[in-house]
Structure 1
Amino acid sequence: MTKTMGYRDWRWLALWWHHFFLLWSTINGQTRYSIPEELKQGSVVGNLAKDLGLGLSEIFDRKMRVASEAGEQYFTVDAGKGELVVNDRTDREALCGQSASCVLPLQVVIEDPLQLHRIEVEIRDINDNSPSFLSNELSLKLAEVAAVGTRFPLESATDPDVGSNSLKSYTLSKNECCSLKIKEMEGGKTVPELVLEKPLDREKKAVHKIILTALDGGNPVRSGTLQITIHVLHGAVVIKPKATDADEGLNGEIEFSFGSRTPESVLSLFDINPLTGEIILKGELDYETTNSYDIDVSAKDKGSPEMEGHCRVQVDITDFNDNAPEIVFTSQPKPVREDAPSGTVVALISARDLDSGDNGKVTLQLTKGSPFNLKPSFSNNYALVTNGLLDRESFSEYNIEITASDSGSPPLSSKKIIPVSITDVNDNPPIFTQPSYNVYLKENGSSDLDFGENAKISYSILDSKVQDVSVSSYVYINSDNGSIYSMHSFDYEKLKVFQIQVQAKDQGSPSLSSNATVHVFILDQNDNAPAVIYPSSAALGSLSHQRMPRSAKAGHLVTKVTAVDADSGHNAWISYKLAEATDASLFTVNLYTGEVRTKRAVSEQDDSSQRLLIEIQDDGEPVQSATVTVSILLEDGLHEPILDLRQKVAEPSKKTGRITLYLILSLASVSVLSLVTFLVLAVKCMRNSRSSGSCCMRRSDCDDYKNPNRNLQIQLNTDGPIKYVEVLGGDMMSQSQSFRSCMSPMSEYSDFTLIKPSSTNDFKEMISVLDASLPDSTWTFESQQGVLCFSAKKTKSHKLGIK
């Protein structure tokens, strides 16, 4: 009986078909996401709710979940946000290996009603792997007889990454023997090869170390390295002897070996292949030790009984240029005199080379520029001889470099330094460090002048006269070191300068000598006290009596104290001061002129008898002084002042007449002395004028006046209150007359004193010093009729003329 289908059955059928078509339509729709590998857990892959057109409430209510076809749950759904997130580590190399594409298929299941969505997640490669070799080191053994261009395959590197991050290239470190080539294999695989570029030489370098680097194409680039060590072996096949056996089977199989009596010297250098009979070199040959070897070779079959054959192999060694030439002294070099003639033998030299043939032919060569030469004698023997003038004072020793070269290919060479010392010959006289010496001695003292340090030189003083006395009476010299000593103290006032001729003589043969002049200047010491010349202490003792009227006003000249000092320079500068007085408010003494004047007008209350103690001091160290006492009587009715130089002089008494006579005699003496000096200078000037044309010196000619023996020497001293100029004419060292002008700028009138100089200086420079030192004076310099003149004008003009 057929059962009819009711309404309820049709309802369930319709619902099943609805779900079927819905599921079919969902599977056909596909979504793909792309992410890099190795994302952290929780990283967002994509928004599933948005991409599938679902609301956030549907994701939670309908229990959306993700199922992986691979079985591993690499991703999950964040129900709160509807996002697909990373749930586990995604390593592209572990998931897909070397596949170029890595896609993970996922199923998204939604319930109530049931829906199935298919999505794909592409895992992109990142450069997280470096190229690597199976091992970090590779050892190769190459025979030194290997031909240039021979290739040796190397291990390839691997990189799990794909695409641009995969292995791209190789590089080889810089080395002396090999280069790198890349060989393309089937399927696009590349294999690095080591190519021999130069012949190997085990004697020069037995081991070569090279680094092979593999690089990928990532950014940044990652790399891996392989250390390659090449051991150079001899391994050269010397010969392959051939042996035959007519038998068959084991009876015809041959085995090779060295003879039973083969010496150890052969066994240490050679080896034999028992199957092929190849004799192989395994040690280092040395032609210079043994140039030939005899080797006994035995060939045996494997029959029973064994049959045996013998042969002898002779190995001749050819020479290789592996020994550098050597320089040997047949006789050691000896010192050479600096006056040795050209061709003098210095040393005998030989050259040798252990190689043979052209490899043992040696030539010697000297560096250029030395006064020596090599003279060949016989069989690689040479004589080192002089080839020019020698001078020990220029070069006391030569380091001669000799180069020995052989004729091998390539040639070898060696060098040797030969020291040759030059001995001295007495060809140079002693030389003083300067042609003349100036020595300054203090009077009343001693002096010590050291010069010369050569112990081989002896010193002596040539005899001469000083003030008609032998110079040996004044000084003596140490003959060993040249030290000059004074014999006694000197007096500047008697002797100011003298000169010594010193001779230095060496100990050579013949003995040589030279001379030098030592100028000894005596320096003044303050050993003289000032001497009062007015009032005269000789006639009146230390007390001077003066008179003055009570009507005298302020500034009245009472008297003038005059003193001189036998010393010179600062030691002769004199100053005056009032040491004691009956009434210090009434009188004053000029510091520089010694003039005694009233400070105020005389009053009725002043005592009629006044007493003054005047102290005169010089400017030396220590200070020297003298005193004079002046007694002044104040009188009424006395109208004409005594010794007032600005008014008419009173009638001379007997005492003043005597003083006047002394002054006239002094003036006459000075005049005569000046005239004699002028005549001497004039005669010298006339003698010089015959050669020079003129004795007169003009200001414009000062720059061209260079004669040191006929010059004008001037020294200006401007220290302190008294200015003075010292003038020296004629030869600097002669005893010709000279003059000094002493001026007191503090006085209305200047006094001139003519004395001898204490030192000298350049005249032209002195004029400029005069202008700068006395700004309120006008200095002039002129030449008239062979007379040199200079003058300084203050309130009046003063002129000093010198012939």
Structure 2
Amino acid sequence: RLPFLMEIWSLDIEIRTMRRQVLLFMLARCLGFVLGQVSYSIPEEMAKGSVVGNIAHDLGLDLKRLKSGKARVYTGGSLEYIGLNKDRGVLLIQERIDREALCGETTPCALHFQLILENPMELFRVTVEIMDINDNTPSFTNAEKRFEISESAVVGSKFVLEKAIDSDIGQNGLQRYLLSPTDNFIEMVLQKPLDREKQDYISLLLTALDGGEPQMSGTMQIFVNVLDVNDNAPTFAKPLYRAKILENSPKSTSVTTVSASDKDIGSNGEVSYLISPSDRVLSELFKINSITGEIIVVGELDYEKSKVYEIDVEVVDSGGLSDSSKVIVDVIDINDNKPDINLISKSDFILEDSPPNTVIAMLSVNDLDSENNGEVECNIDGDIPFKMQNTMNGFYTLVTEVALDREVAFQYNITVTCSDEGVPSLSSSVTLTLQISDVNDNAPVFERSSYEAYIVENNTPGLSIFTVKARDADWNQNARVSYILEDFSINGVPVSSYVSVSADSGVIHAVRSFDYEQIKDFQFRVKAQDGGSPPLSSNVTVKIVIQDQNDNPPQVLYPVQTGGSVVAEMVPRSADVGYLVTKVVAVDVDSGQNAWLSYKLQKATDRALFEVGLQNGEIRTIRQVNDKDAVKQRLTVIVEDNGQPSRSAAVIVNVAVADSFPEVLSEFTDFTHDKEYNDNLTFYLVLALAVVSFLFITCVVVIISVKIYRWRQSRTLFHSNLPVIPYYPPRYSDTLGTGTLQHVYNYEVCRTTDSRKSDCKFGRAGSQNVLIMDPSSTGTMQRIQSEKSILDEPDSPLEVRKSKKSKHFTRIKQTEVKR
């Protein structure tokens, strides 16, 4: 029946403890989490799964908050007797709680733990008081006790009995003793004198009773052997002894010495000391010398386990008379425990733009020592942007002190050191590693504020010009730089038609081949953009300078060289030395030294008569003209630039040495032209020949195909039974009576002064055939003088047309060129 009664008792206690008072106080929100406290009272020995209390209701928390906050019970590393059911929001018994094993005689007996929530971090302190139930029976160490008492013992003599042990406390603990029969003894105090002759042996039953419901008891049999003679009991010098000892005292250290005396003499006066065996813990820690009464240490003392020890000492003489005294030993604390650091919660990563006072970790620090030895202070090693804050007794938070910057430090190893105030001080450390997550807070920065690059003209399209480079102080994707060519127009043309930029490398390529004579430099902007969200960017100006290349030969402006008429400069025979005949005018579209021109006389009919100015191109006489000098003088002048390699152009200057125009005309009538055919005309003639040949072959193939087709048709009709339809060729009318073609074709012939470059045009339909020629144009020299220019255009064509008044006429086109 006993287990059943105990179960009913446990259930009744559980129902009554549900009517508890919940003390809930909320501290001010501190550094990102909230603190609170709640208390419960439960009986010991509750079954597993029993409900302690509805923690969610008592703290005003939603069940969803328990799940989202990953609620958990933190006990600091000790055995978790109580657990949390997140679905119901209640605290449950996880392990059977034995109050006597947990707390011993310490009252009140309570479990202290914390409820931890995350996102945001919150901490609630929970206290569960364990109430005692009457689950232990009073018991004696020995089942029997034997005494030998002299018959001469005086009334009132005391006999020390072994104490009963009851692990329960309070009302459930040991309350009283019963001794039966009580004819001679009341609580083992002699009530009346013994008479060995009447009764030499007495048997007693000592019963220990507690005050629980139901009441429990334990018994010990006492046997008394009545002796004769020894009628004085030993007595202690003091009823109470006090001693102090350090908790780290080595074994065999003397605690104190007790002293007792016996008025008897001889063997009846000999006494021995002993420690009451009722407390097994004391017997393992202390030992008394039975002869001298010295108490020494035989075990390891620990202030944190027990601060005070009460030792019951007995003194017994040889006759069995005894006395008792109490020795109170105060254990002195020493600083022998380091602060115990427990990491409750921590963050491994934090954004670099997190505000100051962001919680990084929560720690629980405990020192088992007392007074100054247990006072703890925590600090952070090194100069880093973090600080410790004491949120409540024994709990600390690690927070950021200032805004962080990943570009300064991407990782911190935070060492927290907690030291007590003992002498010497003891300390413990814990190291946390915190990664700083990158935020896109840095725009790409170019290595230069502007760029200037050079490229030689006539470059190959796609040529790499140079590279722009930008760096981003951020990390990973936020530091990935892409290069973009900004929209811009150069002379109305998009810049993308000139250059391109590689998005990954920043290499700028030329899209086209540049011509220095068309564009000498241009500017554009390149944007560097990172891969963050949103992206950051910066711009830089790039200037491309085109460098000149000697790719243009000099161009002769005067005298104009054509393939038509002959132009001659006239020098009178009376000309003096240094007479200016003419001036060769040339230009070079290149720049710099590529455009520096020099003039040289390459060939001349009489080299001793003329010279050319090296720098100005002036043709002058270098001696006096005489009658022997030929009228016709032909000079070849070379114009050369200063490039590497140099380019040149040649010009032929015809000079007439004469005093009158008719003389010059007669000499230059038969002037032959030695000019070469134009290369372009040769190309066109070859192309025309190829086209005509192709058309001719095509026509022949078509005609043959048509003939074969008609022949096969006629053969088919001939062999078939179908009627044959005769074929009649078309009739052509001869309106002009020539008997050939019914249309008239006109022919137009155009000739220039150089018959080898004449052009002929055929095929324009008209009413009659026209053939117009001007043979007199060949060999004709024309000289036209004006205030500004002397001109001769050999290539000017003579256009021949038929007029109403004459069959032939000549029209000469002339063009003036400034000298």
Q: TM-score, normalised by structure 2?
A: 0.40
Greater RCO structure (CA 8 Å; 6+ sep):
2
Q: TM-score, normalised by structure 1?
A: 0.40
